[in-house]
Structure formats: structure tokens, C-alpha cells
A and B are shown apart, each in its own frame.
Chain A
Amino acid sequence: MTIAVREDLDVRAVVQAAVERHGATREELVAILSDVNREMGYIPAEAFEEVSRLLQIPKAQLFSVASFYKMLAIEPRGRHVIQFCESAPCHVVGGGELWRALREELGLEPGETSADGRWTLVTTSCIGLCGVGPVIVVDDDVYGNVTPEQLPEILARYE
């Protein structure tokens, strides 16, 4: 799946649908924001306004919650998000070398999006796939036992 930013969607409608799905309560806030994030690729400012209005929670509090959780993005990302696992189990089986190669290949530092909008590179801690480390995840595709030599071929699969 491409984590595409969907500017074409009506932000307010997306929020309203999510609120309807989960219910307009504080307890469901993270679930609502997660849904918006999944559909839009990130949580646009307009979405915060709408959530604030429907749930009666001040916007500052919404930002405070959203910025806490790593799966929620408050800025648009590239067409493809590459997550690199930097935890110890992946690190000791070759993750260190892979990380150097990946940054070189992409010319990006963690958190950056490429100028052409193709890639966003982020680091993550363990995603529970360490039996096959080192691991990278591109959008929703998981790659295990990755070596630096395999990188060009893997990256070429994404436009």
C-alpha cells in the first residue's frame, strides 16, 4: 500500500466518519486520529480543528496527544515511508552496516523527506520481527535478513 497523501479527500468528511465509527469521546481520541492518519497519510491542521469541534477538546491538547505517538504524523510524508529498525537485536546481526548503506543510498538523514517527495526515512525501534533481522519496512512491506547489496533492488520496486 502506498502511504499517499490524499489531498483530494474532504478532510472534514474523513474526520466525521472516524468519529462516527468510534464515538465522540476522549477515550477514542487516539483511535480517531489513527484512522484519519491512515486515510490521509498524516493529520492535517483542518482535521485537528474538526476533531476539536466534535470532541470538545482544545486543539493544544490534541497536538500534545498526537505528537506523543509515533504512528501519528502531523506533517505530510513522502510517497513511500521507509522504516529502519535500529534496535539492538537487528543491530548486532548487521543492522549497523545496513543503516550506513541505506542513508547513503537515499542521501537522507532520519526524519527527512527527499526533495522529489519519493521517500521519507524514519527510524523505528523493534517491530517484533527480530528473528529475521536486520529488518526494514517500506510502506506496509516488510523485508527481513536485508543486506546492503539488496538495497538498490528493494528500493527500485517503489516509484
Chain B
Amino acid sequence: MKVIRSMVLVASDPGSADRDAQEVYRRLQEEIRSLGLVEEVVVTTMGCVTRQEAHPLVIIYPEAVAYGPVKPDDVPLLVERHLREGQIVTDRLVPKELFGPISWLSARRGTLPAEQRVVLRRAGVIDPEDIEDYIIYGGYEALGKALTQMTPDEVVGEISNAGLRGRGGAGFPTGLKWRFVARENRTPKYVICNADESEPGTFKDRLILEGDPHSVIEAMVITGYAVGASEGYIYVRGEYQLAQARLRKAIAQAREMGFLGENIFGSGFDFDIHIHSGAGAYICGEETALIESIEGKRGEPRARPPYPTTHGLWGQPTVVNNVETLANVPPIIQNGADWYRQFGTPHSPGTKVYTILGNVNVTGLIEVPMGITLREVIAIYGKGIRNGATFKLAQTGGSSGSIIPASLQDTPMDFDSYARAEVSLGSGALLICDENTCAVDLTRVLLNFFRKESCGKCTPCRVGTERAYRILTDIAEGRGTLSGIEELEMLIGGLRQLSNCGLGQAAAVPVRDILRHFRAEVEAHIKLGVCPVGVCPMSERQLVVA
């Protein structure tokens, strides 16, 4: 048998809009074949693992050299020099600032020298379609430890002590949620991984699923053991075809190796996982709507309480956790709560995966400790605002997050500091907007999203989002009145207090935020009849363009 001496990972998820990545992949295979290296070199794909500007990205192991952005025409050179002659092609390396050292830092001091990767530590390092790669990098060790050395109670305790909080938006303490389910006596119980991820601007969960699918599977088995469930569901957004394919493959491999199924690790514990594909509905990310959808119905949220922890899937006790939350579980079990608490802040330990978007020089994803500031994100990871413009506002956490003005950019990004500033961290999408962004226009686009995604079950949300959208459109098109602002204020109250679920409540937030922070700009649209930034249809610049 020949020994494989190199592995080449190409960031070429077919969903990525980068046509050339697929061409790079194809050329790599072709070159390697024509040089007769097929037996020695494995070429495989990974998801996107760093900032978008480094893509198409190619990483070659065992040297762990990252090349990018790689053009199809660079491929013969890389194959000849690196794979045949063993030399590193220095002028094709990924610029250092895009792929800096990823290190395991303890508590943060001063400015950030590097990313800290916990949940994404394997993405881009292993072949996501090969369980053996996962195992070589410590995979399924945490499961073995939990099942053979810990009681379910101890597992829940470890997660509680680690201070892990949900990464799906609300930040609810994970250990506490598990405890609620663990103490229920009724069986069967269920574990659901929420991989619906339809929050605009958010694609962190996709990258975890595509880059390291086994970590989520391992986490679900541990969760099942901790709470006493023996069946799990992964609800994956319908559009995430690659993530689904990788999960299916990973589940099959895990079954074959005995990490799923009956009597796992000889512990007497059984657990299996089903995949459920979404079919295009943002509201299905809400946990009770998600449960309805798995049951084969319209994904309309249920009234809460009762919560899924007591009355979840088919009325049974159910844990619903986000992908990123789950991906934190194996490293916590493996290394202990104290280790985990080195990262982040005392009340929000750990790291957070963010997507950075909008008017920054470098977009894409990062994983950094909880508690860093938006100013740091923009300067260090976004490499500043594009075209030398000024930072005006950011939207945190996708459409359901908040709009924050530049004056709040030094607030630490952790659950508590943000809650105190009435800002929602949401899902971790950071949309950075420069001075050319109009607050009215942005909010109108957001309300358009909410009115379309409202499931329509309750009137305050169905009518309120539509009405708010109309008023904002009127303001943007030069028909706004001051009484419209009053009506918006009333609608905010109604949406927040009377909506049945988080969607209606979230729809109020951007409206509240622009009236709080950008009121003068909104009023200028009405009183002076101009869009100060020149974006809205009423403005002069628009007339020239149209």
C-alpha cells in the first residue's frame, strides 16, 4: 500500500459564490493526476475558514501552508514546486493579516494578537468527510470520557460550571437548560440541533457543519447522555445542501464506528440522529416553530410556556441547542470548565464566531474571545472601513439584532455588557456600515424582511410589521409625516409586548434604535424633504442616477 504524504484542502464549497474555487479544485486534481501523484496526495474540499479575501484558499498538509487567493493559473506552479519539489511558494502565501496565527491564548491582555479558535479549531485542518481525521485530532475523546468516566449529572455540572451560554441568539445558560430536561421523568426525550440559520448575515453554523460535522454529532450524543435522551434531530436549513450531505456522511461513519447507535463505548447508552431538512421559512429557526415543522406541520410558533424543556417534540421533554453552542460542548468536556473559563469574560466565557460584513476592507468570519469590542473587530479583522470612509453604524446579530451608533463601538461584546446597553448580540452577524448608509433605508429593508417572514399567526406582528414597513417607505419616498414617527413609536410598543414570539419582538428593535440614535436623520427626511446621505428615492443623487 502506498503511503499518502500530503493532503490538500481546497476551500471550494459549491455554494460559495466564487466560481474560481471550483476551477482551482478541478485543476489541482488534473495536475496531480498528470504528474502521477494520485497515490501520494489527497485532494479534498473544506468550507470557508477565514476571511473571504483569502479565498479561493488552498491549505497543504502536513506543512500546514496556506495559499490564497489562488488563481486557477497558479495551480501548476503550486503542484510542481510544493507537492513535487517540497518547496514553499512564498509569493502565493495568504497575506499574514488574513490568516494570522491562530493560537490558544489564556485571558486576553491588551490588544488582540490573534483569533482564538475553540469551535473552529479543526475547520480547515481536517478533511470533514473523513472520520479518521476527526479522531486523529482528538475527536470522540470527549464522548468516551463522558460515557465512561462521568455520570450524566457530572456532564451537566461541567457545562454549567463552564458558563456556556446559547449561541443561537438569546444567550440562555446551556447547563441550566439541560438540567431542566434531565430532571424530567417522562421518556422519550429528544435533543434537537438548531441548524436552521436563516438570520440575514449569519453563516457561522454552516461553516461549522461544513468544516467539522462530527463535532456537532459528538456534542449531541453527549447532550443525550447528559439529559437522558436517546434520539436526536438536526434541523438543517433547506438551502444548506453541502452541510446536509456532509452531515449524512458523518452520521453514517459514526454509526459504523460505533459512536452512534446501540451501546456506545460499551456504556449501555444508545443514541441515534436523524436529519430534517427545512424548506425555506425563517420562522422555523424559532425553537417551537422548528418543532412544529419537524412534526410535519406549518412552522408556526407555539405559545410559551410550556417550554420545549418540558413539552417539546411530540409533547416530550426536549433540548434545543444551536450548532455553535453544541460545538463548544466536546472541548469543554475534554478540557474541563476551568480551561474554558480562560477565554472570554467572567460572565460570558468562551469565544464567539462572528461574520463581518458590509463596508469593511475584509469581510468573512472570525472566532474571537467574548468581550472584544466592535472597534477592535473593525480595525483588526475588518482592516478598517472601505475607501477610507467613516464608520457610522453597525447592525449586530442579523436582522433580529440591534442598530448601534459609532458611539457604542467600545462596549465589550458579551452578553451582559450588551444587555446593559440594550443591544442584542444575536447570532453574531456584524454588519458594518459607513457614512453612506441611510438609517431610514436600512431599517426599511429590515422591516421588509420581518413583514415577509412573519408567520402571520398573531395580529400585532402580521399587521405591525407591514404598517411599520409602509411608514418607513413613506418616509424614504418623501411622503413621511411627523405623526408617522408617533405611530412608529406606538407600533414598537405593540410589537414588543403583544407578539407571540421573538420575531415580532425583534422587529421592533431596529425601529426603536433608529428613533433613539438617528432621530435627527429620520426627521430630516420628513421636515426638510431630503435624505441626508442621498440614498432614499427622494434625494437628489437618486434623481440623477435614476
Chain A residues in the interface with B (C-beta under 8 A): 25-31, 33-34, 64-65, 68-72, 86-89, 91-93, 96-97, 100, 125-133, 135, 142-145
Whether A127 pairs with B239 at a CB distance below 8 angstroms is: yes
B448 at the A interface (CB under 8 A):
yes
Nearest 10 A/B pairs, CB to CB = A144-B17, A70-B280, A69-B279, A87-B200, A126-B200, A128-B203, A71-B280, A26-B296, A131-B52, A29-B296
For A100, list chain B residues within 8 Å (CB). 546
> Who on chain A is nearest to B206 by CB?
A128
Give the tally of cross-chain contacts (CB within 8 A). 135
Whether A130 pairs with B293 at a CB distance below 8 angstroms is: no
B402 at the A interface (CB under 8 A):
no
Smallest CB separation, A134 vs chain B (Å): 10
> Who on chain B is nearest to A87 by CB?
B200
For B399, list chain A residues within 8 Å (CB). 87-88
Checking B277, B295, B437 against A26 with a beta-carbon cut-off of 8 angstroms, the contacting residue is: B295
Whether A68 pairs with B299 at a CB distance below 8 angstroms is: yes
Whether B18 pairs with A68 at a CB distance below 8 angstroms is: no
For A125, list chain B residues within 8 Å (CB). 198, 200, 282, 449, 452-453
> Who on chain B is nearest to A145 by CB?
B17
**Could you list 28 examples of A-B contacts with CB < 8 Å?**
A30-B279, A31-B277, A69-B278, A69-B279, A69-B280, A69-B281, A69-B299, A71-B280, A86-B448, A88-B445, A88-B449, A91-B442, A91-B445, A92-B359, A93-B358, A100-B546, A125-B282, A125-B449, A126-B202, A127-B239, A128-B15, A128-B203, A129-B15, A130-B201, A130-B363, A130-B429, A135-B17, A142-B16
Known: A71-B280, A87-B200, A131-B357. A142 touches B296 (CB 8 A): no
0/1 per residue, B191-230, Cβ < 8 Å to A?
0000001111111001000000000000000000000000
Interface residues on B, range: 35 or more
Whether B296 pairs with A65 at a CB distance below 8 angstroms is: yes
0/1 per residue, B227-252, Cβ < 8 Å to A?
00000000001111000000000000
0/1 per residue, B325-368, Cβ < 8 Å to A?
00000000000000000000000000000010111000111000
Whether A27 pairs with B296 at a CB distance below 8 angstroms is: yes
CA distance A88 to B446 in the complex (A): 6
Whether A92 pairs with B17 at a CB distance below 8 angstroms is: no
> Who on chain A is nearest to B201 by CB?
A89
CA distance A86 to B202 in the complex (A): 14
For B294, list chain A residues within 8 Å (CB). 27
B509 at the A interface (CB under 8 A):
no
Whether A88 pairs with B280 at a CB distance below 8 angstroms is: no
Checking A28, A93, A129 against B17 with a beta-carbon cut-off of 8 angstroms, the contacting residue is: A129
B431 at the A interface (CB under 8 A):
yes
CA distance A31 to B277 in the complex (A): 7
0/1 per residue, B13-49, Cβ < 8 Å to A?
0011110000000000000000000000000000010
For B499, list chain A residues within 8 Å (CB). none
CA distance A64 to B395 in the complex (A): 34
Known: A89-B357, A131-B363. A68 touches B240 (CB 8 A): no
Whether B295 pairs with A131 at a CB distance below 8 angstroms is: no
